[in-house]
Amino acid sequence: MNYRHAYHAGNFADVVKHAVLCRVLMHLRGKPAAFRVIDTHAGAGCYDLGGAEAGKTQEWRNGIGRLLHGKIDPPVRALLAPYLDRVTALNPGGGLATYPGSPVLVQALLRGQDRFIACELEPQAAGALERHLRGDARAKAVAIDGWKALLAYVPPKERRGLVLIDPPFERPDEFSRLAQGLAAAHRKWPSGSYLMWYPIKDAAEVAAFAKRLSRLRIAKILRVELVLPPADGDTGLLGSGLIAVNPPWTLHDELKVLLPALAQVLSRGAAPRLTLDWLAGESVS
């Protein structure tokens, strides 16, 4: 499949991914030492929901559109605040016309001492990314292949940080590249945190990917998956997953509160399937 960010900006998978990303960043902000974020497949940075790509698919209506207008309990809303605050800041009129990609969310949560490298190879997206980050001394846009960037920029000089790996899944071997890339990067920077996104289209392929990760001898690997039953005539993405390596110690308990609430808001009638478990470390089932 081809999962270019612009066509799917703000959909249910983005909502879950970006909510989790912001929770990890908030944990990194909790200590005074500087951290670095490396986004290997950053995309354009920000998206016009009425533009040619997002406007064509309209997937945001069943994602961020549902969340902004959904009923959310205060404890869940508090966990979502770092994410939703940025969404609403980009839409001051109260509507929903612009959606922040991961680079804009990361940039909003950087402190003065933190640094950010956002990587994107596709020329149009790379140009937009550079424009969004221009003038911010903490952030740098680099036109480079994300898989090369994964190894080129780890370990960073800061001892703390996060690598976000969110490829477009244009090639059939992308799951293998994810596993291989993680293994190689982790060997170079075993103390770093990693957050990897993947689509759920083929259950057997996803299961094989999880099994491969569990054999990498990495101490802590947390898995998050959300699969939504299809609505009538729905041919889009129905499921997505995240792998968090060396996650903050608070993340699992936060997601136990956050994910069921998100699943309820984002579901389109039938019960969604939600997975939150450890592939390695903590309590592996």
Domain extent listing, the chain: 5-280
Q: What is the mean pLDDT of residues 8-14?
A: 92
pLDDT digits (tens, 9 = 90+) for 228-253: 987 655 556 789 999 999 999 999 99
Asked if 166 is an active-site residue, the reply is yes
**Rounded to whole angstroms, how far apart are CA atoms 277 and 264?**
19
pLDDT at residue 2 tops 70: no
Least confident of 117-131, 174-188, 259-273: 259-273
Tokens of 47: 């998206």
Q: What is the mean pLDDT of residues 117-145?
A: 96
In degrees and rounded to multiples of 5, residue 242 shows phi and psi of: -135, 140
More confident residue, 204 or 230: 204
Write down the pLDDT at residue 57.
77
pLDDT at residue 208 tops 90: yes
User: CB-based contacts of 259: which residues, under 8 Å, 6+ apart?
Assistant: 16, 224, 226, 274, 276
Mean pLDDT score of the chain, rounded to an integer? 92
Write down the pLDDT at residue 130.
97
Write down the pLDDT at residue 231.
65
User: CB-based contacts of 60: which residues, under 8 Å, 6+ apart?
Assistant: 9, 10, 11, 14, 49, 54, 96, 99
pLDDT at residue 267 tops 60: yes
More confident residue, 6 or 16: 16
Q: Which of 14, 39, 114, 166 is catalytic?
A: 166
Write down the pLDDT at residue 268.
73
Q: What is the mean pLDDT of residues 79-100?
A: 94
Q: What is the mean pLDDT of residues 80-90?
A: 97
Write down the pLDDT at residue 285.
54
Write down the pLDDT at residue 232.
57
Write down the pLDDT at residue 7.
77
- What CATH class is the domain 5-280? alpha beta
pLDDT digits (tens, 9 = 90+) for 29-44: 999 999 999 999 999 9
pLDDT-derived band at 284, boundaries 50, 70, 90? low
Q: Which of 22, 5, 25 is nearest to 13 (CA)?
A: 5
Tell me whether the omega of the peptide bond preceding residue 155 falls within 30 degrees of 0, making it cis.
yes
| Residue where the block lists tokens 């054999």 | 215
**Rounded to whole angstroms, how far apart are CA atoms 210 and 214?**
6
